[in-house]
Each structure stands twice: as structure tokens, then as C-alpha cells.
Structure 1
Amino acid sequence: MSGLANLAWTCIIVAIFLALPASTSAYNVTYGQSSRKFISGSQSHNASFSLTQIRNPKWKPRETSTTAVYAAEFLKHKVHMPEDLRIAWEELKSHDDQSSNSSIHPRVGGQLVRYSDGQYVFPVTIGTPKQTLNLIFDTASGDFWVWSWLMPIDMLQNRKYYNGSASSDATPWDGQSWGATYAVGSNYGIVWQDIVWIDAIGVAGNPIECSQGVSNWFASLPGVDGVLGLSYAYNDSEKPEPQQTWITYILPLLATPVFTVSLVRNGIGIIDFGFIDQKKYIGSIAYTPITIIPGGGAFWAFNWTGFAIGSDRFNRTNIQVMTDTGGNISMMPESIANRYYKLVVGSYKQVDGAWIFPCKATLPNFVFGVGSSRIVVAGKNFILTNLPDGINCIGGIQSREEDTYVFLSIPFMQSIFVVHDYGNMRMGFANRTWV
């Protein structure tokens, strides 16, 4: 964390509205010039609220290559791809460089699929007067970026976007820029500051990454207006000064410094802030300390104590795991992915290394250990999407190299209850009744 020192913040005002407009109070926080500090204060606050996803009103399935789907998580986190995927990805990029219709071309062995990401989003309002955008909330990112008025006008047709010049509370942050890599291409731009409202909490002076360009991956997502990262400490995509994330600004205002995630397959998910709803899980919550991924930033990660597939015995292995509400594929060391699909009749690897199986196949449940507890994920969650033949599907579990950490993304999150406990620097997991 020493590299986060010497940030030149002067003041951020956090305004919190907990009841009717008549109950308004202000929370002022001053930053020293010589060191970076998280928000703290002597005032006590007891905010708690639930944020419910909405069905994206502009959503429609889009076509993309299975290779791009598989590569997305590697590109997002800047980790090494398996060789088969790397070769396929380089070929896909070469093809796209020669075409204006990027990200939808199949490779030999790759296939076009109709992909459904961006179907459910969270509403966020920015500025004065308020501008409402629909965002993806991503626990494996620190970025808070939005489509903005600074982009080419032809890209803004029929889209919602943030206009800082139309907000009386917005100011440009001179010299501050940002950049983030996603599936096909990168997002980049400059940083403005403005008031950000999520439910009844407003954070004034919140850094907002205003896009000047976005990757084809996001350009082809109608109705997704940006991403709000929920990593627990900082955002190192901004230069020259890394910044805190939105969640670290509001945590001191919450009744309890936690948030929980309850996502639903093909349905509406909920994130609760400031409290733990006992009605959302069964049994007890198993807690484990947050672990640091070397070079990986302040992500929500832990060590599982083992795993089991279907009715197989429990394998006691201490593997580091990163959780990710912004990813669509869960990445496993190759030996674990191979063991999983060995139990799926008709499964095979295509040329880019992606696991494919008959859509009618019965997929085994996946169990992972948190201490002595066992958390069970429904096998049905690992059907990512159909292939064009209408018979086979691409899997929500895919391979990465051995001796590397695991990515647990949306397919896992849709079966379990996840606690992000900032106050105690730990994560909690519990089973849920499947829907």
C-alpha cells in the first residue's frame, strides 16, 4: 500500500439522506496533502439499504465469438492465457483489425454465440440535476466509468450517457486520466468529479471516469451505461493518482461496514449495504480472511480449503480464490476443470480450449470449502449459453493454467450468499435455496 501515498486530495463531502428530505445532514471529510486516508470521523451513522437490479430496458442478446467470451476474464485481469486460447485470440484480433465489425467473427473452432450479458443492471444517479445511468456492479474492479458526452457523437446515438457539462456540481480533474482493458479493446478517458447518488446516499466530489472511447465489447451492450467497481481499497486504473473506490467512501456511513450479494440466474439480484439479511441464506455464514493477490490490486479474495465435484470425495487443497460479480466465466486450474467435465457426458474442448457440452447434459454440482463449511453451487448455473447448432452449450467453468488462483464469477454467485465484510477484512459464504 506504500505506493498509494502522496495523493493530493483536499476535500470530499459526503452528503447522506437517510429519511425524508427534511432529515438532511452533511458529512465533511478533509484529506491531508501528504498521505492517503480512508474516510473516517467521529460522527456515527446508521445507513442501510438494498439495491435491486432492474431488467435492462434496452437489452437484447448479441453475437460474439466464443473465443472472445473465453478470453474476456484473462484480458480484464491481465493474466496469462492458456496457449490454445492465446493463439485463437491473436487470430481473432488480427481478423478484427481488418474489419469494422469487431468481436463477432468466428475463428476456426470458435463459434458465434448469442450472448446475454448486461441483461440485469443497477441504477445510479450522477450530478445536479440528476442523470440516471444503468451500471454493472463489479466486485473485481475498482473502476467507476461511464459513457460520457466526450465520446464521438455517432457512438452516443440512442444511448444514455453522463454529461458533466450539464451538472452544476461537476468539475474536471485536470491531468487525471484512466484506462481499462476489457474483452476486445480498451476503455479510456479523463476524470471528472461530481456528486454520485446510490439509493439515498450521495458522495460529492466522487471521481468519475468519463469515457472518450470504449471497447467493442461494451459498445455492443445496449443499455449498459458503465461499470461501478466495488473492490475494497483503491482504483489503480487512474493516473497519475490512484483513487479510492466508491464503496470505501460510504462504508463509514453504514450501520455495519459490510455489503452482501445475492444474484439470481435469469432473474433480479440484490446487493444489501450496511446489514446482513438472515432471510437470504440457509444455515450459517462461514467466514474467512481476505487474502492479497500479488500484483492484483485490492480484490475480494480468500483461500478455499478444498473442493468436490458432484458426489466425488472432498479434495483438501488450499487454493486462492478471487470473487467477481462482473465476470461471466469462472476460471479453474486446468486439472479441476478437466475433472469437472470428465463427469459431463459428451463434453469436449474446441480448438481455442473452451469446454463445450450438450445442453441437455446433467451438470454436477460444485462444492468448495470455507474452513470446515461446505458451500454448494448448482450445476445448472454452469450452462453459459447455447451454440448455433441448438444442441451444444459453452460452459461457465473454463480452464486456466495450473498453480494459479481461481476466479469465482457470476455462475457461482447465482447459487450462494456472499458477505463482503470490510470492517473485519473478511469474506463470508452461505448456502441459499436455489431458484
Structure 2
Amino acid sequence: MSIQAPRGTYDVLPDQSAKWQEVEQKINELCRLYQYKEIRTPIFEHTELFQRGVGDTTDIVQKEMYTFQDRGDRSLTLRPEGTASVVRAYVENKLFGLPDQPVKLFYTGPMFRYERPQAGRMRQFVQFGVEAIGSKDPAIDAEVISLAMDVYRSVGLKSLRLVINSLGDTESRIAHKEALIAHFAPRINEFCSDCQTRLEKNPLRILDCKVDRNHPLMGTAPSLADFLNEESQQYFDDVKGYLENLDIDYVVDPNLVRGLDYYNHTAFEIMSDAEGFGAITTLAGGGRYNGLVEDLGGPQSPGIGFAMSIERLLLALEMEKVEIGDSQNLEAYVVAMDETTKKKAFSIVKNLRENGISADMDFGGRKLKAQMKSADRKKAAYVIVIGENEIANGKAAVKEMATGEQVEVVFEQLAETILKKKSLGE
């Protein structure tokens, strides 16, 4: 019996890893431009963190977490999302005491949820997320949304749609909650068991139910927009104003509630409108979570953030037929004609690499024709041929694969010549 990867996991093979690396490089560069600093938190945390931070009425906590007891009989959970861990680190390490607020953080790493695997949604997935903690300025909401949009634009995605909503402050949420209970209670027995449980605890979550989304009461449920107080409405108007200032198009969807309990005020999702993407079009989601820091034992520190699946980003690239990862292509392939010239070829490869040129050679004892085919498969920009004549003359034959042009270059100038040709090509 062969051992295979567990259901819902996968291997990122070399022909795909270049795409991942390019996405991660663009993310790191954008975060540098926006001045978000990286934070790395443990892959597992105390289960209580997610029960308190994510919410015990969510599907994540109730159905999807990988939870286990350690040898000290402590309940630990593989992290299903990133925000709770980042906020825990913010509180534990007293980042609220830093003079410059908000503290702007980003993370990239694996998350784990026990759900039905499907395209772009696996049980182990890689999530990039941003958290800006310590400011209630609506401008930071717009900045966070702008950063998310820029990530997708930087890799060439165009079929994007930003959807936003306001979940209001505590006062607005309480008034809306009472209206939802009154609306659903008379016929709650017609809904799934999860919705029946949510009725009193968090009826807003009923609107996010996948099982009962076509129930007639869903379409007539009270809209949160009708319960926003003056302060909440002004906050939402300010966020929209800043988005317009950044020339970011958006659509207001009063039914957007997001799936986690900690959200309030701004909520948003970025969708893919690419043809063939499937029923689940959400690429990224996020929102404001004033109160989460206090729930985890910290001082009043309002925050906002988002998270995106790298797998779904790559799926969107596939749907839009956008190719990335070509920057990993081989620049120089050194061909040794026989065993007597192999040592010289080996030293040339070393020198090219020391000068920042990606270089490779044959390690299988193949003939010239087979080596040339290998260089072609690897998409080498240049092939350097080393034979007995080249050794005797102190020069190598350098062939530019794209044009077929071939020149002789002294060994000591090989790196300089390729770097010069490379700069002219760029």
C-alpha cells in the first residue's frame, strides 16, 4: 500500500513553486511600501483563543477546527485563521504600548480547517493576512482594502469586484439583533439545527447560512442598514469617501455579514468575476473588529484586517489565463563536451552563480545533443559550450537561445558578458 498525502492537503511541486514565490515576493514588496511589518505566530494555539476570538457560534469553531489534547492534557488547536493569533500576540507582547499606533502587521502561513475539499479550498491552505491595530480612523479601513486590491492587481488580475457593507457599532447591532429574532422566531423550526442554535446567540449568522439561503424569510429579513445609528452611518460614509479618493470602485451589499463573530462597522469581500471560477467567487474578506483586543485581555484597541487564500489567488490567475513565475527561468546552461572539460565547466557554473546568474549543467554524463535538449527544456537564456578547443583557446562559445546568435567570449568575461546582455534585454 502506497502512502499518499492526507485528504485535503497537497504538494506544491517545482513547476508550481515559482508561481508561489513570485506571489510572496510581490506581497512582501507591497507590505514594505505600505509599511506593514511581518509577524510570525505559532501554528497551534490554546483552543480557548479561537473559541473566544473567532466565536463559539461560528462554523469554524463548531465544525472545522483540528483540536487535540497534548501530553499535559491541554486542549490545543491548529490555527484555522490568523487574526486571533495576531491579536493574542499583540496583547501578550504589549504592542499596544508602542508609541506609533496603529501597529501594522502582516502574516503568511498555513491554516487548517476540516471542510470538504474543493478547487481552491483545502483542509490545509496558505493564508496571507493584514492587521492594523490601534486606530479607529476610517482612513485605515480604506488603506487596508487598498492593500488587498493591490495584491491582486500586482499579479495581473483584472476581473475583480469589491463588495462592502457596514455592520454598525454595538448599539446598531443590538437593535438589528432584536429585529432578526422577531423576524425568524415564529418559523425557526423550518431552519437547520445550526440556525436554530444561532437564533438567540447570534441571529446575524443565520443570514450567512448555506443550507437555508433560499428560504423565503431570508429575502425579507430586516436589513442592518436600516438600523445604523448616526455615528455608524457617518463612519461608513467616510470609508466610502476614502475609497472614492483612492479611485477604488465598490458595490454596497447589505447582505454581506462575514462569517466571524468579531466583526463590526466595515466588512468587505473581494470577488472574482472571471469566467469559469465556480459558485464560490470570494478571493479575500475582512473587516473591522473593535472589541476583539479587549476580549483577549488587552486594552481598548480597535483594529481592522483581511485574509486571502493564496490557493484561490492562483486559481483566479488560472481562470484569467495570467502566467507568472517566469522570473525563475534558467539564465545559463554550461555544456561540457566530455569528462576532460567537465571540471572547467563546473568552475564556470560556480563563477556565474557568484555573480548572481542562475546557472546549471549536466550531471548525467549525457552527450552534446542531449545536453542541448536539456537546456531547451529548462528554457535557458544562454548556452555556454566548453570543449577541448575552448580550453585550448581560453574562450567559450556562448549561444543566445532566443536568437540563435553565437559569440566567443574569454572565460574571465563570461559573467560580465551575460549580465550586460541581460541588462540590454530588460
Q: Which one has the largest radius of gyration?
A: 2
Structure with higher helix content: 2
If the length of structure 2 is used for normalisation, what is the TM-score? 0.23
If the length of structure 1 is used for normalisation, what is the TM-score? 0.23
